[in-house]
Structure 1
Amino acid sequence: MVQHNFKSITVVPNGKDLIDIILSRTQRQTPTVVHRGNAIATIRTFYIRKVKFTQENFCEKLSTMIGQFPRLDGIHPFYGDLLHVLYNKDHYKLALGQINTAQKIITKIGVDYERLLKYGDSQYRLKCLKVAALGRMCTVIKRISSSLAYLEQVRQHMARLPSIDPTAKTILICGYPNVGKSSFINKITRADVDVQPYAFTTKSLFLGHTDYKHLTYQVIDAPGILDRPFEDRNIIEMCSITALAHLRASSILFFLDISGACGYSIAQQANLFHSIKSLFMNKPLIIVCNKTDLQPLASISEEDMKLVMEMKAEAFKTVVGQGGEPTDDDSVLLTMSTLTGEGVIAVKDAACERLLNQRVEMKMKSNKISGCLNRLHVATPKQRDQKERPPCIPPAILEAKAKQPAADKEKRKTEKDMENENGGAGVYSMNLRKNYILANDGWKEDILPEILDGHNVYDFMDPDIPHKVEELTWEEGTRQAEAEDGNFEIEGTELTPKQQAALAELRKRKSFLIQQHRMKKRTAGSRPTVARKHDKDKQYTSTRMGRQLSSLGLDTTLAIKRMRSRSVFRRGRKRGRSLETRSTDGGDRMDIDGDKPSKKQRLSRSLSRGRSVPRLPIEVVPGEGFKDSAQKSKARELAKKSVKKRNKDARRGEADRVIPSLKPKHLFSGKRSIGKTERR
């Protein structure tokens, strides 16, 4: 099978991540320390190894990228043109070309600096050459960052493409948008293509598989095509054109919506058929009239019927032109309805049979069949006598089948069958009460049961509920009308003119305060916060409130006393006071009504109100299980030490510049003498 597994392409890192990966690998896998007493030749080898290792790693990464991405000239033309439609072949080749050029430049940089490092005469010059070499390599990678990002986007899109085999037996569905192509592939395969009542729901190729005569056929749902010039078609339509042009071993199903529910007339669909009929050459073609549940084929107008007959004649000419047998021309025009399922299996079987016959005829015409016929021998058994031997069924099986009740022989109707009969999913609602076990089957559909928990439900219902609801509604409407007219009442008594004036003044004042508060909220961002002691206006004091309410003729003594008691309570909470009312024996009772405590009581309360001291981390709390503070301190240190390594390894990745051991033994120990090497 000629398949291209685009999902196996590895992730393409961006420029910064690629630099971090290579430099981190160089740091980890090459020596990192030069000793003071080393000879200049050893130091040259040290830095040459660094440069060469970095250059080889860069080239290895870049060559892997180039090798994994497919060459458009070396794959099947279907995939080549599909990738050109989706990503633009020129941009794709240019990005791969830049990666290849960067690989060659890095190789040249490594060779040049390796030559220069051979003639370095000091450690300082060798280190400068090494830094310059690695820097130039990283600069090359930074310049191709845009190409790396483009290839990563292409890789992600290619991984989502379906695995279509261009040489396998294929049924290709095409036509205008919203004519029922996706519904058909969902019916005959296990594909789950989104179906919506608007055009261009399918924006790419979708693949499904079906079986016919023990053979597997792949079914491709192509996006809709519009009748317009070739150069005006978009990427979605070009995917369908590419599949029609390059999938040779395919049977074409051209869908025709004769009801007009798709938004396009039969004349427009006929024009599309004639404009792309050149793509149907050498392929079995069937015209499928869909949505016959909305309008049968026989009920369309004469003009539309004439267009359909012309399309049928063209399809029949295509069959005869391919060298096939001129069968009944009704086989190239079929009707079906994907909603009711009528004719769906017949269309699938006809497409598979036509494709199978065509492939058999092509193989019979080829030269390979002659070699196969020489090796085949069909054995036919000869009849030894004239006695007839009909098939024998054991009598026990016949008796068991006869005793089987008729109800078991019939297929039981399931909820799925009832759903299909009554409009399908979203229309049919399953009755959950039909399987209730009740004394009377007539109770199953009752909205409210007659008997509940042994009581008659009707005994607890008030028959005057509708009348009372109407009275409440009328009363509410009357109150709203009176409120709009300004006739205020308090407990059934109308307000006096003086009270009405006072109420109007209060409402006016309330409206003013609301507007003032909203203005403050709007300007809160630019207005500085002023402490309460600097509020010269003193707008919200109890004295001012009492003065304003007294001017309206109201007694404010109780309100002011309540307000002051609340302020005392809040200040006490802020300072950590306790307002618990103790017994008279304790002598520490604060009367909220305004009685001041004695001097002795105030002194004792101030002494008991000391500031709380924070507990130290190593202080032992009863119940923790520690003997003393030293034991708790030691346990805390051991806990920190146990999680230190896990915290360091928690987020370590390939690109992290990590030195596992700050002082490795083989770099900080002397030369081994002759003797034991157990340490190794």
Structure 2
Amino acid sequence: MVQYNFKKITVVPPGKDIVDVILSCTQRQTPTVVHKGYAISRIRQFYMCKVRYSQQNFCEKLSTIIDEFPQLDDIHPLYGDLFHVLYNKDHYKLALGQINTTRNTIAKISKDFLRLLKCGKSLYQCKRLKEAALGRMCTVVKKISPSLVYLEQIRQHMARLPSIDPNTRTVLICGYPNVGKSSFMNKVIRADVDVQPYAFTTKSLFVGHTDYKFLRYQVIDTPGILDRPFEDRNIIEMCSIAALAHLRAAVLFFLDISESCRYSIAQQAALFHSIKSLFMNKPLVIVCNKTDLQPLEGLSENDMKLVMEMKAEAMKTVTQAGGPNEEGVLLTMSTLTDDGVMAVKNAACERLLEHRVDVKMKSKKMMNCLNRFHDAVPKPRDNEERSVCIPLAVLEARVNAAAKEKKLEKDLENENGGAGVYSASLKKHYILANDEWKEDTLPEILDGHNVADFLDPDIKVRCEELEREEGLRLEEQAAEDAFQIDGHELTQEQKAILAQIRKKEALLIQEHRMKRTAESRPIVPRKFDKDRKFTSNRMGRQLSSMGVDPSSAMDRARNQSRGRKRESSVSRAAADSDDMEIDGLQSNKKLRLTSRFRSRSRAPKEVIPGEGFKDSEQKKKAIKKAKTATRNRNKDARRGEADRIIPTLKPKHLFSGKRTLGDKQAIRSARHWIWLVIFCNQTFVLAFFAILLGPTT
């Protein structure tokens, strides 16, 4: 099936934008450097390349526009008429024709100037010819700017057109304005069509989809049509006329029998008779809407006569269309109460389906297929009735085969009451010694053994013995816990002695930990200083030779090598004191106060004795070198995977000038040859003068 999707058409740029883009591409994509020293053939090729490249780009742009816009002679007549109604197809063809003429003109200009460039005699002449060629191309493109603007407006409007499939199953709704067409659409499709209490709310074709008998149907809501001459109808009405004329669909003609649409039944009947020629060979259903305001039986005789005349005309249309019956031609409906809405939809879809089947059956292709088949029917030779006779052996074979067939769970479910009644047994496939055991209640299993197999009849007596044994063990554990010293039953002297013992134990543990830490943390790892070359004595000798007092530096190194911590001063002060506190150690605040002092603030470049610097200048240089050495490392450490990185702010391929037709190696080779020629010429001149002067020199 053909599907038209005009949303894929490329945007049509103005003429000035086309010229700017192509000239920019020509400058960037072709060589840009030419010298007077080049051979004339090379100069000609240089400018011919620019002219040829510009012509190709212009033709490509214009060809894209021509190819993407639809040709009115190649598309469905529905869209051809819509184009004529909405845009005037003559103007549309003229705009595309101007673009096609411009494309051919540009190709001709390029051909003429390329022929002239082949005979160019100088750089200046070739350059002027190139400028003239590009100038004429740009002038021709700028002249069609109004056509390009017109085509861009058409493209924007075409993108808003509905995508209609002219060959699929279609239900078409038509009638006077405000008779309930859009309200019916909202009931039968999933979309939301705008419904208002005034005429011409729907200004264009609106497409929706519905389902009937598992088939998809296309429902089209058309704008309202007024009963007036063809040439007086506006663009909105002509959209409906084009859809009625070119779509093979089931037509629903809506009739407002309550006359609340401000049009009488006589006016609506006159519209029906004026456009009935558009209903030929199509299933037609007359829908009397708004029966909640006015029932069909309550109409006057004149109005009922008009309705019956329309029904008679609809029956003629059904007969011409080859419909199988004439029922359902006149239906009543109310979109307010949903009375008869689904009946109207089903009737229209059913009549359309029958009509399409009947048309296919009458087609030449179907008749060719039917002519190939022959249905042979035997003729009876007498009046006796002969029943079917199946041999007994065949029946027995069928019964045995049915008995051997394995029943499925679905068959068992159907035999035992169906879903919700029958419950499939999960135990019937158990492999047991006796099939009767399958439905038994399963005993509890522990560690892979059946508990029931190991049941002891005296289990209660044994449990009581275990409980008594557990009680005895709990009593023994309580007695052992009561024997430990908790301090509640001691005298004051015993409590003081116990506190001194615990305090001494804590001090011994701290000294052991500090000794172990100091021994295991040397200044230089032993694996790098096996010969003990990096020692404090050697550092002192080097500092003395430089004229620096090494005492402070050596003391500082020794203090660091001992691994002195804050707790060491505390333990040493506690060990030296004779009076040991009974209540425990001092508070943490006091320990921190005794273990450190407030350091005075210094300038970062001020030399401190023991740092190993001669003066502040030397320290300043050392700090600067340290920062420089760690800059890249710190930068890499701070940089994460999600950080935005611009390694090069000015890439060379974007900011450096373009080279000539030769590459770097060719330029370097040319320079070598030039210097070689100069050197050879100098040598030749010296030899010439030596020959002229002779032995006098």
Whether TM-score is above 0.5 comes out as: yes
Q: CA deviation at 1:141?
A: 0.8
Match of 2:359 among 362, 385, 403: 362
The equivalent of 1:95 in structure 2 is 95
Mapped to 2, the partners of 1:229 and 1:86 lie a distance apart of 19
Q: CA deviation at 1:79?
A: 1.3
Match of 2:334 among 337, 343, 351: 337
Q: Aligned runs of 1:152-231 on 2, under 5 Å?
A: 152-231=152-231
Q: Deviations over 1:336-367 (max 9, x none)?
A: 11122111111111111111111111222223
In structure 2, runs of 5+ residues without a counterpart are 378-386, 396-410, 423-626, 636-643, 671-697
The equivalent of 1:142 in structure 2 is 142
Q: Deviations over 1:170-220 (max 9, x none)?
A: 111000111111121222122332222211111111111222222221111
Percent of aligned positions that are identical:
67
Q: CA deviation at 1:315?
A: 0.8
- Checking the alignment, whether the CA contact within 8 Å between 2:253 and 2:286 is kept in structure 1 is yes
Aligned CA distance change for structure 1 residues 644 and 120 (closer, same or farther; 3 Å) = farther
The equivalent of 2:589 in structure 1 is none
Mapped to 2, the partners of 1:660 and 1:287 lie a distance apart of 75
Q: Secondary structure at the match of 2:41?
A: helix
The equivalent of 1:394 in structure 2 is 414
Aligned CA distance change for structure 1 residues 383 and 179 (closer, same or farther; 3 Å) = farther
- Checking the alignment, whether the CA contact within 8 Å between 1:189 and 1:208 is kept in structure 2 is yes
Mapped to 2, the partners of 1:143 and 1:159 lie a distance apart of 26
Residue type of the partner of 1:244? L
Q: Aligned runs of 1:573-592 on 2, under 5 Å?
A: none
- Checking the alignment, whether the CA contact within 8 Å between 2:311 and 2:330 is kept in structure 1 is yes
Q: Secondary structure at the match of 2:216?
A: strand
Mapped to 2, the partners of 1:644 and 1:666 lie a distance apart of 30
Q: CA deviation at 1:321?
A: 2.9
Q: CA deviation at 1:272?
A: 0.8
Q: Which has the larger radius of gyration?
A: 2
- Checking the alignment, whether the CA contact within 8 Å between 1:33 and 1:667 is kept in structure 2 is no
The equivalent of 1:671 in structure 2 is 666
Q: CA deviation at 1:103?
A: 0.8
Aligned CA distance change for structure 1 residues 263 and 393 (closer, same or farther; 3 Å) = farther
The equivalent of 1:275 in structure 2 is 274
Residue type of the partner of 1:16? K
Q: Deviations over 1:619-646 (max 9, x none)?
A: xxxxxxxx99xx9xxx9xxxxx988988
* Structure (1 or 2) with the greater helix fraction: 2
Q: Alignment length, in residue pairs? A: 430
In structure 1, runs of 5+ residues without a counterpart are 403-626, 636-640, 649-657, 676-680
Q: CA deviation at 1:669?
A: 4.0
- Checking the alignment, whether the CA contact within 8 Å between 1:95 and 1:147 is kept in structure 2 is yes
Aligned CA distance change for structure 1 residues 672 and 376 (closer, same or farther; 3 Å) = farther
Residue type of the partner of 1:13? P
Mapped to 2, the partners of 1:674 and 1:76 lie a distance apart of 67
Q: Secondary structure at the match of 2:47?
A: helix
The equivalent of 1:25 in structure 2 is 25
Aligned CA distance change for structure 1 residues 139 and 646 (closer, same or farther; 3 Å) = farther
- Checking the alignment, whether the CA contact within 8 Å between 2:283 and 2:323 is kept in structure 1 is no
- Checking the alignment, whether the CA contact within 8 Å between 1:255 and 1:290 is kept in structure 2 is yes
Match of 1:347 among 344, 347, 357: 344
Q: CA deviation at 1:96?
A: 0.5
The equivalent of 2:57 in structure 1 is 57
Q: CA deviation at 1:320?
A: 2.0
Q: Deviations over 1:237-276 (max 9, x none)?
A: 00000010111x2110001111222222211111111110
> Is the aligned partner of 1:253 residue 2:261?
no
Q: Secondary structure at the match of 2:666?
A: coil
Aligned CA distance change for structure 1 residues 31 and 663 (closer, same or farther; 3 Å) = closer
Aligned CA distance change for structure 1 residues 664 and 672 (closer, same or farther; 3 Å) = closer
- Checking the alignment, whether the CA contact within 8 Å between 2:281 and 2:321 is kept in structure 1 is yes
Residue type of the partner of 2:223? P
Residue type of the partner of 1:41? S
Q: CA deviation at 1:369?
A: 2.2
Residue type of the partner of 1:37? G
The equivalent of 2:657 in structure 1 is 662
Q: Deviations over 1:394-440 (max 9, x none)?
A: 365469479xxxxxxxxxxxxxxxxxxxxxxxxxxxxxxxxxxxxxx
- Checking the alignment, whether the CA contact within 8 Å between 1:28 and 1:659 is kept in structure 2 is no
- Checking the alignment, whether the CA contact within 8 Å between 1:51 and 1:133 is kept in structure 2 is yes
Mapped to 2, the partners of 1:278 and 1:79 lie a distance apart of 20
Aligned CA distance change for structure 1 residues 672 and 213 (closer, same or farther; 3 Å) = same
Mapped to 2, the partners of 1:645 and 1:341 lie a distance apart of 71
- When the two chains are superposed, the root-mean-square deviation of aligned CA atoms in Å is 3.6
Q: Deviations over 1:252-306 (max 9, x none)?
A: 0001111222222211111111110111011110000111122221222222222
Q: CA deviation at 1:132?
A: 1.3
Q: Deviations over 1:554-611 (max 9, x none)?
A: xxxxxxxxxxxxxxxxxxxxxxxxxxxxxxxxxxxxxxxxxxxxxxxxxxxxxxxxxx
Residue type of the partner of 1:323? G
> Is the aligned partner of 1:372 residue 2:369?
yes
Q: Deviations over 1:41-95 (max 9, x none)?
A: 1111100110111011111111221111111112221111111111101100110
Q: Deviations over 1:509-535 (max 9, x none)?
A: xxxxxxxxxxxxxxxxxxxxxxxxxxx
Aligned CA distance change for structure 1 residues 400 and 121 (closer, same or farther; 3 Å) = closer
Aligned CA distance change for structure 1 residues 183 and 378 (closer, same or farther; 3 Å) = farther
Q: Secondary structure at the match of 1:394?
A: helix
Aligned CA distance change for structure 1 residues 160 and 646 (closer, same or farther; 3 Å) = farther
The equivalent of 2:133 in structure 1 is 133
Q: CA deviation at 1:147?
A: 0.3
Mapped to 2, the partners of 1:642 and 1:283 lie a distance apart of 69
The equivalent of 1:515 in structure 2 is none
Q: CA deviation at 1:102?
A: 0.7
Aligned CA distance change for structure 1 residues 663 and 361 (closer, same or farther; 3 Å) = closer
- Checking the alignment, whether the CA contact within 8 Å between 1:179 and 1:257 is kept in structure 2 is yes
Mapped to 2, the partners of 1:314 and 1:22 lie a distance apart of 63
Mapped to 2, the partners of 1:93 and 1:265 lie a distance apart of 43
Mapped to 1, the partners of 2:15 and 2:159 lie a distance apart of 22
The equivalent of 1:122 in structure 2 is 122
Q: CA deviation at 1:667?
A: 6.2
- Checking the alignment, whether the CA contact within 8 Å between 2:324 and 2:354 is kept in structure 1 is no
Mapped to 2, the partners of 1:48 and 1:95 lie a distance apart of 31
Mapped to 1, the partners of 2:243 and 2:102 lie a distance apart of 36
Residue type of the partner of 2:93? K
Mapped to 1, the partners of 2:315 and 2:199 lie a distance apart of 30
Q: Deviations over 1:427-478 (max 9, x none)?
A: xxxxxxxxxxxxxxxxxxxxxxxxxxxxxxxxxxxxxxxxxxxxxxxxxxxx
Mapped to 1, the partners of 2:60 and 2:655 lie a distance apart of 25
Q: Secondary structure at the match of 1:671?
A: helix
The equivalent of 1:306 in structure 2 is 305
Q: CA deviation at 1:153?
A: 1.0
Q: Aligned runs of 1:237-252 on 2, under 5 Å?
A: 237-247=237-247, 249-252=248-251
- Checking the alignment, whether the CA contact within 8 Å between 1:171 and 1:218 is kept in structure 2 is yes
- Checking the alignment, whether the CA contact within 8 Å between 1:178 and 1:262 is kept in structure 2 is yes
Residue type of the partner of 1:195? V
Name the structure, 1 or 2, with higher relative contact order (CA <8 Å, separation 6+).
Answer: 1
Q: Aligned runs of 1:7-46 on 2, under 5 Å?
A: 7-46=7-46
Q: CA deviation at 1:392?
A: 10
- Checking the alignment, whether the CA contact within 8 Å between 1:191 and 1:207 is kept in structure 2 is no
Mapped to 2, the partners of 1:646 and 1:284 lie a distance apart of 72
Q: CA deviation at 1:375?
A: 6.9
Q: Secondary structure at the match of 1:73?
A: coil
